[in-house]
């Protein structure tokens, strides 16, 4: 569920007209709904009532400070994957004891920053990382609380580029090596294994992969405890999918996901950590753009907008579907066409929707790309020297710009021309 709907023929974010925001802010812009962010977080948390849980929002989905602060106020922690995300989380008021640090390529500088901040746990993903962390922590006179991310070799049945739990993926330590690595960590100075971590992928719409992975994880935890390891928390990652198409069957309900979790981990007497990102932010955001031209090609019709692949790369990168709505609600007798909604970037792959049935639009019409709250603004870039677009957040009947439009001068002025030129 989200809080974007038509009121008096105009698409609104909660009680704010997107047409009015467009007039004042300019297009394109991302718009996030506070009510949707809060609802998604709360619904997910409530299905685990009675279990000691910590939700560490996966910041890579959307790391705007306003989004983070909204979730921090609800008690959320953070899953970070870089020193930059760590700093963002701390600045947004997320306590260090609610932060976990994931990722396969943590640098020595990032590991030091995590230890300095005193975060809850570092999710170690390789033996070289373990030894590097042991050295750094020992030199700093600190003890790093760690969990190991285990790769269970489970097919999440999702897009290849967002699958993380198969043996050919770069993430985690192979399940067959887990007991040996925990034994090695127990001998090393400066590190203390306190938990175990698993994340098998993103946009998962079938509960069976979770069932398979959690079953293997539960068996491993019992074996590790028999060997004397104190496992006090289990991090189950995120990955639960969201609806991107209005006419598709919905992905699993969080309540049904919770039943799978409870079946495998409730008896383990562990604190359970989750790392949802897309689930919370995905349908809480849209991207509003404007039609520049309508071009009749020889083979198809192109609606050319000012939203490009640099603003939202998911359709190009993942062949992802995003529903598109006109900001002004079309009448029942409006003409519908099959067209490609494309952008101005100089690439054939620059599109938002292909062969999509949509109302015929004209120059100046506004449209909204739905389900753009996750992996939208965070993956945007300045290709073709196109500035990053604005971000706006709405709460009830008010809105605020939370990232202004970048200027072209800002992009150009980053460059430095050598003196010999």
Using 50, 70 and 90 to split pLDDT, how confident is the model at 201? confident
First-to-last alpha carbon distance for the chain, in angstroms, is: 56
Which one, of 210, 208, 220, lies nearest residue 268 by Cα? 220
pLDDT at position 251, please? 77
Question: Are 227 and 201 spatial neighbours (Cβ–Cβ below 8 Å)?
Answer: no
DSSP 201: B
Question: Are 350 and 303 spatial neighbours (Cβ–Cβ below 8 Å)?
Answer: no
DSSP string of 237-263? Answer: ---B----STTSPP---HHHHHHHHHH
Share of the chain above pLDDT 90, in %: 81
Point out the residues that are catalytic. Answer: 346
Q: Among 109-118, 174-183, 301-310, 380-389, which stretch is predicted with the lowest mean pLDDT?
A: 174-183
Helices vs strands, H then E, count in the chain: 12, 21
Question: Are 343 and 309 spatial neighbours (Cβ–Cβ below 8 Å)?
Answer: yes
Cβ neighbors of 205 (< 8 A, separation 6 or more) are 157, 158, 241, 251, 252
Largest CA distance in the chain: 73
pLDDT at position 162, please? 47
Q: Other CB atoms closer than 10 Å to residue 74's CB: what's the count? A: 14
Residue 245 has pLDDT above 90, yes or no: no
Rg over alpha carbons for the chain, rounded to the nearest Å, is 23
Q: Among 59-68, 238-247, 332-341, which stretch is predicted with the lowest mean pLDDT?
A: 238-247
pLDDT at position 102, please? 95
Which one, of 81, 197, 209, lies nearest residue 153 by Cα? 209
Using 50, 70 and 90 to split pLDDT, how confident is the model at 199? confident
Q: Which helix (H) or strand (E) holds 329?
A: none
Q: Which helix (H) or strand (E) holds 123?
A: strand 121-124
Question: Are 34 and 395 spatial neighbours (Cβ–Cβ below 8 Å)?
Answer: yes
**Structure tokens of 195?**
């938990």
Question: Are 61 and 81 spatial neighbours (Cβ–Cβ below 8 Å)?
Answer: no
Residue 166 has pLDDT above 50, yes or no: no
- Domains assigned to the chain: 4-31+282-412 (2.40.37.10), 103-274 (3.20.20.10)
pLDDT at position 25, please? 98
DSSP E strands, 336-408: 336-342, 351-359, 366-369, 390-395, 398-403
Report how far residue 350's alpha carbon sits from residue 309's, in angstroms, rounded to the nearest whole number. 5
Give the residue-averaged pLDDT of 392-414: 97
Report how far residue 201's alpha carbon sits from residue 209's, in angstroms, rounded to the nearest whole number. 10
Give the residue-averaged pLDDT of 4-18: 98
Angle of helix 178-187 versus helix 207-226 axis, rounded to 10: 40
Using 50, 70 and 90 to split pLDDT, how confident is the model at 165? very low
Give the residue-averaged pLDDT of 27-43: 98
pTM (predicted TM-score) = 0.94
């Amino acid at each position: 569920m989200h809080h974007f709907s038509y009121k008096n023929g105009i698409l609104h974010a909660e009680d704010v007209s997107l047409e009015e925001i467009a007039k004042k802010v300019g297009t394109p812009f991302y718009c996030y709904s506070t009510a949707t962010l809060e609802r998604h977080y709360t619904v997910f948390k409530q299905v685990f009532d009675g279990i000691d849980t910590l939700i560490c929002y996966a910041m890579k989905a959307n790391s705007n400070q306003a989004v983070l602060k909204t979730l921090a106020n609800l008690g959320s922690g953070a899953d970070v994957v870089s020193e930059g995300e760590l700093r963002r989380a701390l600045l947004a008021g997320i306590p260090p004891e609610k932060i976990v640090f994931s990722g396969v390529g943590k640098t020595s500088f990032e590991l030091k920053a995590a230890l300095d901040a005193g975060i809850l746990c570092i999710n170690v993903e390789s033996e070289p990382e373990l030894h590097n962390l042991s050295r750094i922590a020992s030199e700093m006179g600190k003890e790093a609380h760690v969990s190991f991310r285990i790769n269970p070799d489970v097919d999440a049945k999702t897009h290849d580029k967002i699958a993380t739990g198969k043996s050919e993926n770069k993430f985690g330590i192979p399940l067959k090596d887990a007991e040996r690595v925990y034994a090695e960590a127990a001998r090393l100075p400066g590190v203390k294994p306190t938990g175990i971590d698993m994340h098998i992928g993103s946009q998962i719409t079938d509960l069976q992969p979770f069932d398979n992975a959690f079953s293997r994880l539960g068996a491993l935890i019992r074996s590790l405890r028999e060997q004397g390891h104190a496992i006090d928390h289990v991090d189950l990652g995120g990955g639960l999918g969201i609806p991107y198409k209005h006419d598709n069957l919905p992905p699993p309900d969080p309540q049904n996901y919770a039943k799978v979790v409870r079946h495998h981990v409730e008896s383990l007497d562990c604190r359970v950590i989750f790392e949802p990102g897309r689930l919370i932010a995905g349908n809480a955001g849209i991207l509003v753009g404007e039609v520049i031209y309508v071009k009749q090609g020889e083979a198809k019709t192109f609606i050319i907008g000012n939203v490009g692949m640099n603003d939202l790369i998911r359709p190009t990168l993942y062949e992802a579907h995003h529903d598109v709505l006109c900001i002004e609600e079309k009448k029942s007798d409006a003409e519908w066409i099959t067209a490609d909604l494309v952008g101005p970037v100089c690439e054939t792959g620059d599109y938002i929707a292909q062969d999509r049935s949509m109302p015929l639009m004209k120059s100046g019409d506004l449209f909204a790309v739905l389900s753009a709250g996750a992996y939208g603004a965070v993956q945007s870039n300045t290709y073709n020297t196109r500035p990053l677009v604005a971000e706006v957040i709405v709460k009830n009947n008010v809105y605020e710009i939370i990232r202004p439009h970048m200027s072209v001068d800002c992009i150009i002025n980053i460059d430095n021309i050598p003196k010999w030129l």
